Structure 1
Amino acid sequence: MDTHDRSARKARLTLVGLAVLAAAGLTAGGVVAYSLLGNDDSEKGAAASTATAKPGPSATGSSDGGRMTPEKAKKITLRVPTGQANGVSTGFPHSPSGAISAAVYFWEEYAFLDDQKARQQLEAVVSPDAAGYIDEQISEVRKTREGANLPSSGGTPAGITFTTTVNAVRGKSLTPDGGVVQIWMNYDRYATTPEKPTDDAPLKGEDVDYILKWQNGQWKFTNEPKYWKKRSFPAAYFPDSPYAWDDGWVQVRHAD
């Protein structure tokens, strides 16, 4: 097996293990919905209505051509971070778009295959009230490594580059003032090597979610039971699905 084949195989095995992290790592919840569009940041994410998410049909919206869908709607533009800490972006405003941006930037920057770097990143953004949360996430990183036939501890394999791209988000507020939120994300992940700069079979349409709370002037990640027990699960995300739109899925646009 030549160098190219070994690198490509290792990248593929690694990607196979990534779904473990998405499925087991960071589920969260929400009950009080806030609008992702048309919500002035000065409102600080005040709740607009109360709803519990219900799964919708997974079929696309081809039979509902007149209904709104995520791909028809205006995208939410991510806020530009004003800081960096331990390899992760920080400094997002106290607003719905700020919380969404904090979640998206973190997930796209997260060193999900490097337990030491991941710990440093988590230490920068996890709430001090989230007892054991960092250790739980590092355990998931190590499980993912083992699932990819890598040693349980270590860095990303040399010569492999991973790129995570968030497609859409669904936000819910867990408190009336919008200070604690749940953010679901739908994302794709690609693995490339110098010999193979394109990924012919990436992970597509994966979902992951977080709980974030506004604390000490920053959005912090948490797993506190009083918020965890409020978790809800969204309708399946499809760009052309009216059910996804009705449930709150909105596509994201990265800031220029």
Structure 2
Amino acid sequence: MSLGDEPGSGGYGGTGQTRTRLPDGPTDPRRSGRTSSRSLITVVGVVVLLIAAIAFANRGDGKSAAGTGAENKPKTSTTAASGDNPVESTSNGIPTGFPHTPEGAQSAAANYAVALGSTGMFTKESRHSIVDAIYTSTAASKLHDAMDQAYSSSFLTKLGLNADGSPPQGGTFVSRTVPVGTKAEQYGDTTATVSVWYMGLIGMSSQNSTDPVSSTWKTWTFNLQWVKGDWKITTDNQKDGPAPVPGDDRAAGSDEISKAVEQYGGFTYAR
């Protein structure tokens, strides 16, 4: 659904859904005083380079019969991109026709997360179109009413939107899901379970906004089914994190965020 937490209970397809938490005030709790972090990182970097140089200079020419431990490390192929174009068609602007492979299921899940985290979910007509495009027909038929109740006018008002889900004059509503990685938890000929680790952006960008655009980190897990030549969602659920340590980046003003949203488009994600 949305990038962070959403209203109501019961997830899409009845698997558990979280709630949206609005900021308590203008203070961003993710940003803490870490003025010495850059200097610390510099010192640590120099020490690491020095140790590496000493180890390289003192390495022996002989080959040891004992294991080096490298055999236990994850292989790069585990997370490397497949290099395959995931799809060549779209439905209502959403990629369709994903390959009947583990990589295809992961590509589908990533792109479905993007669709479910978009601003289109906040207006009834586009929300129904998105749900119909990416869920199985059985799941979609059960979700329309439930989602309409979740995206109530009172909930939209709390986000600074009009009752129909449109932003107020002079405001830019931001809602984006940015997949960082995917993992096939389970894969079979007709079903697959895929987790998508993502960063979300959500909030209202305007001079008078009480809900400024902020970021959140979540993991979205989709249960997929192979239906009529494509992967479709049967159920899904979200959990918090894993979230990295916040950086020291300066928070952008509302004008900068609004321009960035208008100037930078999204992607079609492939595994």
TM-score by length of structure 2 reads 0.51
Shift in Å, 1:91? 1.3
**Matches of residues 62-77 of structure 1 in structure 2 within 5 Å?**
68=73, 74-77=79-82
Structure 2 counterpart of 1:85, from 91, 113, 118: 91
Cα distance between partner residues in 1 of 2:5 and 2:240: 19
Q: 3-state DSSP class of the match of 1:163?
A: strand
Structure 1 segments unaligned to the other structure (5+ residues): 1-14, 30-64, 241-252
Shift in Å, 1:75? 3.3
1:42-90 deviation line (CA, Å, top 9, x unaligned): xxxxxxxxxxxxxxxxxxxxxxx98747999633447422211123111
Q: Which residue of 2 aligns with 1:206?
A: 218
Cα distance between partner residues in 2 of 1:235 and 1:194: 27
Structure 2 counterpart of 1:218, from 227, 230, 233: 230
Structure 2 counterpart of 1:96, from 96, 99, 102: 102
Tell me the amino acid that sits aligned with residue 112 of structure 2. F
Cα distance between partner residues in 2 of 1:145 and 1:220: 28
Cα distance between partner residues in 1 of 2:162 and 2:95: 28
Question: Does the Cα contact within 8 Å between 2:200 and 2:215 map onto a contact in 1?
Answer: yes
Shift in alpha-carbon separation, 1:129–1:190, aligned structure 2, 3 A: closer
Shift in alpha-carbon separation, 1:147–1:127, aligned structure 2, 3 A: same
Question: Does the Cα contact within 8 Å between 2:217 and 2:241 map onto a contact in 1?
Answer: no
User: Identity rate of aligned residues, in percent?
Assistant: 18
Higher Cα Rg: structure 1 or 2? 2
1:214-253 deviation line (CA, Å, top 9, x unaligned): 0111111114xxxx9xx9x99964689xxxxxxxxxxxx9
Shift in Å, 1:21? 6.1
Alignment RMSD: 4.5
Shift in alpha-carbon separation, 1:189–1:234, aligned structure 2, 3 A: closer
Shift in Å, 1:96? 0.9
Structure 2 segments unaligned to the other structure (5+ residues): 17-68, 246-267
Cα distance between partner residues in 2 of 1:68 and 1:212: 30
Q: Which residue of 2 aligns with 1:173?
A: 186
1:128 and 2:137 aligned: yes
Higher RCO (CA-CA < 8 Å; seq separation 6+): 1
Question: Does the Cα contact within 8 Å between 1:20 and 1:144 map onto a contact in 2?
Answer: no
Shift in alpha-carbon separation, 1:211–1:222, aligned structure 2, 3 A: same
1:169-215 deviation line (CA, Å, top 9, x unaligned): 232237xx3321222222112247488xxxx9632212222221001
Shift in alpha-carbon separation, 1:91–1:160, aligned structure 2, 3 A: same
**Matches of residues 107-186 of structure 1 in structure 2 within 5 Å?**
107-110=113-116, 111-130=120-139, 131-142=141-152, 145=156, 147-151=158-162, 153-155=164-166, 159-173=172-186, 177-186=188-197
Question: Does the Cα contact within 8 Å between 1:113 and 1:156 map onto a contact in 2?
Answer: no
Shift in alpha-carbon separation, 1:255–1:186, aligned structure 2, 3 A: closer
Shift in alpha-carbon separation, 1:107–1:119, aligned structure 2, 3 A: same
Tell me the amino acid that sits aligned with residue 74 of structure 1. T
Tell me the amino acid that sits aligned with residue 115 of structure 1. K
Q: 3-state DSSP class of the match of 1:190?
A: strand
Question: Does the Cα contact within 8 Å between 1:185 and 1:208 map onto a contact in 2?
Answer: yes
Shift in Å, 1:161? 3.4
TM-score by length of structure 1 reads 0.54
Shift in alpha-carbon separation, 1:235–1:123, aligned structure 2, 3 A: closer
Cα distance between partner residues in 2 of 1:153 and 1:211: 30
